[in-house]
Amino acid sequence: MNTAPESLQSVFDRTFAGIRQAREAFTPHLTLHEVGTITSVSTGIARVSGLPSAGFEELLEFPGGVFGIAFNVDRDEIGVVLLGEYSHLHAGDEVERTGRVMDVAVGDELLGRVIDPLGRPLDGNGPVTTTKRLPIERPCAPIMDRSPVTVPLQTGLMVIDALIPIGRGQRELILGDRQTGKTAIAIDTILNQRGKNVICVYCAIGQRASAVAKAIANLREKGAMDYTVVVVAEGNDAPGLAYITPYAATSIAEHFMEAGRDVLIVYDNLTQHAQAYREISLLLRRPPGREAFPGDIFYIHSRLLERATHLRAELGSGSLTALPIIETEAQNISAYIPTNLISITDGQIYLSPSLFELGVLPAVDVGKSVSRVGGKAQRAAYRAVAGDLKLAYAQFEELETFARFGARLDEDTRKIIEHGRRIRACLKQPEFAPVSVPAQITVLLALTANLFDAVRLDQMTEANHAVHEAVEKIPAEVRARFETADKLSDEDRKTVIEAARQALARFQPKPEAKPEPKPEAESEATSKPDGGSKPGASTDANAIPKPGTEPEPKPEAKPKPKPESESRPKAESEAKSKPDGGSKTDAPADVKPKPKPGTEPKPKPEAKEKP
C-alpha cells in the first residue's frame, strides 16, 4: 500500500521538472505590429493614418473583414480603395497591415464556379478550396518567352473565322454601340470551344445582375460551364471591386496558360473598368486629364492586355487569347478609350447599329474590322477563298449605296450586287448556333463558285441549311484536311463544290417557256379580226367615220416606215400633188396625224395589250 503513493509522487515530480525546464528555456520575442486609424470614409475610399511602413498596393484589413488596397501613399496618410461593403466603417476605426499584396485563388477547382474578384463564391455551391494563390498584378511574359501566333481560335461565326480570323494568343477588340450584340459574339465564341481543349474565363465588370445571370444561364444550358470560370463584379459593387476584377481574372487564366493549356478570356466590358478607375482617381484627388480620366488610364489597360500571349514550346506552349469589349457612343470609335484599346490590341471587330437594325446578325462591319495577327494563323482552306470573298463583299457594299437611289445599273454591276446580297445572307447566323469548320468552308467555296447566285433571297436560309447538311456526304479524308494547314487540292475543291451543287439543285429556278408571245398573238387576232391594222396603230383608227366625211385610206393612216432617203422624195411629190396639205380636216377626229417626213413612227406595244 505504501509503494503506490511513492510512484505517483515521482510522476508529479518529473512533470513539474519538465514544465520548469520549458519555462526557463522560453525567451519572449517582441514583434512590431502596426495599427492605423481611419481618418475619413467616402464613396469606396478611406483615408488612413498611422501606417508609416505600408507599401504601394499593399492589402490592408479593416473591421468587419473588409479589405482595401493602398493606392495613394503620402507622407501623412494613405488613400485606400475599399473592396467591399463599407457602410459600417467610421472614422477612428483601427486598420491593420497584412504584409502582402492582393491575390486570388487559382486552380482547376475554379472550373464551373462563379466567384467575385476576392475568390468568394457567388453560385451557392460552397466555398472554393484551392491550394495555390497568385497576385492579381503580375509582370507580363518577356519577349524572348513568346512565340508567334500560329494556331487559329475558331469562333464558330463564319464572318469572323473567314474575314477577321483570330489566333490563339491574340488580343482582338470587340467594340460597338450598346445593344448591338457584343456579348453575344463573346458567348458564342465560348460555346464553340467545347471539345477543343480550351479553358474559358468570362469576366463581367460592372454589368447588371440580370444580364450576368442570363449569360451564366446560357453557358450552363449549353454545357459550357464545365470548362469556364466566371468572375463577376456587379454594377452595384464598390468601384474598387470593379477595378481589380480583370486583373484577378487574368491571373486565374495565366495559371492555366503556364500549365501548357490554351485559354480564352473575355473582358465584358472595359468601358465600365475605365469609369470605375476614373471614379477612384477623382475621389483620391488625382489630377484629371482628357474626359476627366487620369493620365495613366492607357497604362492600366496596356499592362492588362500585355499579359495575353503565346508561350514558347520550352515553357509549355500555352496561350492566352483576350477578347476585350468596349462600348462606343453614337458610333464614335475615335473617342478616348476606344482609340486607346485599338492601339493596344491586335485588331478590332466593329459592330454596326445600322446592320443590326437591318437584321444582319452578327452585325459585323467588315470594312471597319481588321485582324492584324490572325491571318497568319488562318487555315489554308480559308485563305484560299477569304481574299476573293472579302473583295467581292467590299465591292458590294460600295455599289449598294448607289443602287438605293434607283440609278441605272449595267449588267456587271447588277451581278456584283446580287452576288454580294448572297454573301451577306450566308454570313447571317442565329445566336448560340456555331458553325463547324467543314460547313463553313463548304459554304465559302459555294459562294466563290457563284452557286448561290441563282437562289432567291427568300430561300437563302433554307439553301444555307441544305449545304450544311450536305457536308456529311463529303468524304471523311477531305473533311480531315479542312482541320489541317494543308492546302486543298483541285480534286478536293471539285468534290466539295459538287456536293454543294447537289444540295442546291432543288433551289435552282426551273426552266419554263415564256408564255408572253402566244397571248399577245391571240390578243392581236381578237382585237384585229379584219387584219387591216398594223402593229402600233391606234385602236381608234378603225372607228366608223361620221356622215359627210371621207375616211382616209388605211395605208395613209399608218404608212410603213421607210428610210429617210425614200421618205423625203415621196413627201415632196405629195406636197406638189396636194398643195392644200391633204384632207386633214376630212379625217376622223380620233385618227392620229401622219408622222412628219423623215421620221420613223415608233410602235407602242402597250396599246395592243389593251382590249
List residues with catalytic annotation: 372
For 510, residues 6+ apart whose C-beta sits below 8 A from its C-beta are: none
State the Cα–Cα distance between residues 394 and 26, nearest whole angstrom: 83
SS3 state at 510? coil
The full DSSP string for 553-574 is PHHHHSPPP--HHHHHHHHHHH
State the Cα–Cα distance between residues 283 and 40, nearest whole angstrom: 12
The C-alpha angle 313, 317, 321, rounded to 5 degrees, equals 145
Residue 408, number of CB atoms within 10 A of its CB: 7
Q: Which three cell numbers stand for residue 271?
A: 468601358
Phi-psi sector, 46: left (phi>0), alpha (psi -120 to 50), beta: beta
Helices (H), 209-296: 209-221, 239-258, 270-283
Q: Which three cell numbers stand for residue 562?
A: 421607210
347 neighbors 373 (Cβ within 8 angstroms): yes
State the Cα–Cα distance between residues 155 and 193, nearest whole angstrom: 8
For 599, residues 6+ apart whose C-beta sits below 8 A from its C-beta are: none
Residue 501, number of CB atoms within 10 A of its CB: 15
Strand 103-106 vs strand 132-135: parallel, antiparallel, or unpaired?
antiparallel
Selection from 269, 253, 107, 83 nearest residue 181 by Cα: 269
35 neighbors 49 (Cβ within 8 angstroms): no
SS3 state at 104? strand
State the Cα–Cα distance between residues 82 and 580, nearest whole angstrom: 110
Q: Which three cell numbers stand for residue 488?
A: 486543298
Residue 377, number of CB atoms within 10 A of its CB: 21
State the Cα–Cα distance between residues 229 and 359, nearest whole angstrom: 32
State the Cα–Cα distance between residues 196 and 199, nearest whole angstrom: 9
Cross-strand partners of 176: 327, 351
State the Cα–Cα distance between residues 300 and 294, nearest whole angstrom: 10
State the Cα–Cα distance between residues 46 and 97, nearest whole angstrom: 14
Task: State the DSSP H helix or E strand holding residue 42, giving kind and residue range, or none if neither.
Answer: strand 35-42
Helices (H), 270-323: 270-283, 297-305
443 neighbors 495 (Cβ within 8 angstroms): no
Residue tagged 467543314 (cell numbers) = 438
For 268, residues 6+ apart whose C-beta sits below 8 A from its C-beta are: 182, 183, 186, 202, 203, 204, 205, 207, 325
Q: Which three cell numbers stand for residue 247?
A: 486583373
The C-alpha angle 41, 44, 47, rounded to 5 degrees, equals 40
Residue tagged 406638189 (cell numbers) = 576
